[in-house]
Amino acid sequence: MARISARTGLRRTPTARGAILGGMDRDRVFELYRQHVNAGKIEMFERYGLDAVMGRREGIRFWDAFDDRSWINCHCNGGVFNLGHRPPAIIEAVIQSLGSVDLGNHHLPAPGRAELARRLSATTGDHLSGVVFGVGGGEAIDVAIKAARHATERTGIVSANGGYHGHTGLALAAGDPEFRDPFGPNPPGFAQVPFNDLAALDAAIGDETAAVLLEPVPATLGMPIPDDGYFPGVQRICRDRGAMLIIDEVQTGLGRTGKMWAYQHWDLEPDVVVTAKALSGGVYPITATLMTPPVHRIFDEEPFIHISTAGGAEPGCAAALAVLDVVEAPGFLVHVAAIGELFAAGLGDLPFVLRRLGMMMGLAFPMPDAGMLAAKMLFDAGIFSVYAGNDTSVLQFLPPLITTEDEAAEIISIVRSVFA
């Protein structure tokens, strides 16, 4: 007989778990993954005793598919699960949309796509009124770089050492050499400088620089929090040199830092903002590249210059509109700021430095690779989190934004029991 989840109000059937697992056990899942998906990951998981297979999930937790263990998700896939796992409002919106629509056709207008573009523009005070939809964050960054190059008639892109913008063409070129070098030489025109270093940025921008591309808080770099004057200085240099300012808000956007967009902490007026992960509600992938009218002009003048078959899929638009309903609801961002303060108070005296902007957090330990060890220790204690790839002394720490005071206290208690 079907059961109703007390937290989500969604119906669960006792046969659902069996249908998903298809009669497999843990060893069979790992072996199939080893053979067909990613043998390297399986080798690493086995080496460090990370034997979870993601099964049922709800709210801030997910459960193992084969036993009763559960973990509080403090990784959230980089913000995909900002609203928790399977948020009922998002699922209901997608289910309702599927009663009458499907993927749709990117050539034709659709009400959901039109309304989502209007709502996203409004979050920027209509400063970024042009919108291009996509499916993945890398694709959205590619759009941003292409548009900036056309608007400036330049090709150079300056980004931060150790930053991360995706694994597709232009996004990959703006990121880490270790991800692109195995696939051939980097295309010309890309330069990287240390994050939070205005002098280095100033020196790197020349007459051929089309744009500066930066994350407000680079997660893969270890969650460094920029100096108060850094981003205003970046914007000033860009304006002086005629370069566009692209803000990658794939992880920081849609409430993660206590504001709708992290750039609003510094009263910036970027030329382009990219959003992805959280826009999906963790249910249906969708991304958006928001830009000023001059940058967006190429898509008006050449309407077929860029297409994305599944970009702005109609069920994804329904999910994203429901996400905006939640994030823009009165008190939501106040709640995010308050929960962030609880973490600051509860974790402030432990043997790490808490790097934090709202609930965009990192635990910075004083020894190399300690973030990797911390991830394993918390995994064993019931918290799932991931270390920063380009600074393994730092543990990325991203609880869902819907975390309640009681749940925050539980997370803090676990962390303290591990590290105090």
pLDDT for 178 equals: 85
pLDDT in tens, 233-243: 999 999 999 99
Question: Which segment of 78-92, 176-190, 318-332 scores lowest on mean pLDDT?
Answer: 176-190
3-state DSSP call for residue 160? strand
Q: Determine the Cα–Cα distance for residues 419 and 176; give it in Å rounded to an integer.
A: 31
Q: Considering the chain, what percentage of its residues have pLDDT values greater than 70?
A: 95
Question: Mean pLDDT over residues 34-38, rounded?
Answer: 97
Go through 120-149 and write b for each residue having 16 or more CB atoms within 10 A of its CB, e for each that does not.
bbebbeebbbbbbbbbbbbbbbbbbbbbbb
Q: Considering the chain, what percentage of its residues have pLDDT values greater than 90?
A: 91
Give the residues across from 395 on adjacent strands: 363, 387
Question: Mean pLDDT over residues 163-189, rounded?
Answer: 91
Could you tell me the pLDDT band of residue 263, with boundaries at 50, 70 and 90? Answer: very high
Kind and range of the H or E run holding 383: strand 383-384
- Angle CA 386–389–393, to nearest 5: 75
Indicate if the pLDDT at residue 17 is higher than 70: no
Q: What is the residue-wise DSSP string for 194-248?
A: -TT-HHHHHHH--TTEEEEEE-SS-TTTT-PPPPTTHHHHHHHHHHHHT-EEEEE
CB of 209 within 8 A of CB of 156? yes
Question: What is the layout of strands, in order, in the sheet containing 209-214?
Answer: 130-134, 287-291, 272-275, 244-248, 209-214, 156-160, 190-193
CB of 194 within 8 A of CB of 200? yes
Q: Give every CB contact of residue 151 below 8 A, 6+ residues apart in sequence.
A: 210, 244, 271, 294, 295, 297, 298
pLDDT for 73 equals: 98
What type of residue sits at position 235?
Q
3-state DSSP call for residue 409? helix
Average pLDDT, the chain: 94
Nearest partner of 219 among 137, 112, 312, 123, judged by Cα: 137
Residue 393 CA, chain-centre distance (Å), reads 21
Nearest partner of 131 among 268, 265, 325, 311, judged by Cα: 311
- How many Cβ atoms sit within 10 Å of the Cβ of residue 65? 18
pLDDT in tens, 80-134: 999 999 999 999 999 999 999 999 999 999 999 999 999 999 999 999 999 999 9
pLDDT in tens, 198-222: 999 999 999 999 999 999 999 999 9
Residue extent(s) of CATH 3.90.1150.10 domains in the chain: 52-81+330-420
Give the residues across from 277 on adjacent strands: none
CATH topology for 90-325 is Aspartate Aminotransferase; domain 2 (3.40.640)
CATH topology for 52-81+330-420 is Aspartate Aminotransferase, domain 1 (3.90.1150)
pLDDT for 18 equals: 52
Question: Mean pLDDT over residues 362-370, rounded?
Answer: 97
pLDDT in tens, 347-357: 999 999 999 99
- What sign results for the dihedral spanned by CA atoms 403, 406, 411, 415? positive
Residue 5 CA, chain-centre distance (Å), reads 27
pLDDT for 181 equals: 87
- How many Cβ atoms sit within 10 Å of the Cβ of residue 351? 11
Indicate if the pLDDT at residue 77 is higher than 80: yes
The torsion defined by the Cα of 94, 55, 417 and 351, in degrees rounded to 10, comes to: -70
| Continuous H helices in 247-287 | none
Could you tell me the pLDDT band of residue 417, with boundaries at 50, 70 and 90? Answer: very high
Q: Determine the Cα–Cα distance for residues 360 and 183; give it in Å rounded to an integer.
A: 32
As to burial, measured by CB atoms within 10 angstroms (0-12 exposed, 13-18 middle, 19+ buried), residue 109 is exposed
pLDDT in tens, 126-166: 999 999 999 999 999 999 999 999 999 999 999 999 999 99
Could you tell me the pLDDT band of residue 255, with boundaries at 50, 70 and 90? Answer: very high
More confident residue, 391 or 177: 391
Residue extent(s) of CATH 3.40.640.10 domains in the chain: 90-325
pLDDT in tens, 6-15: 444 544 444 4
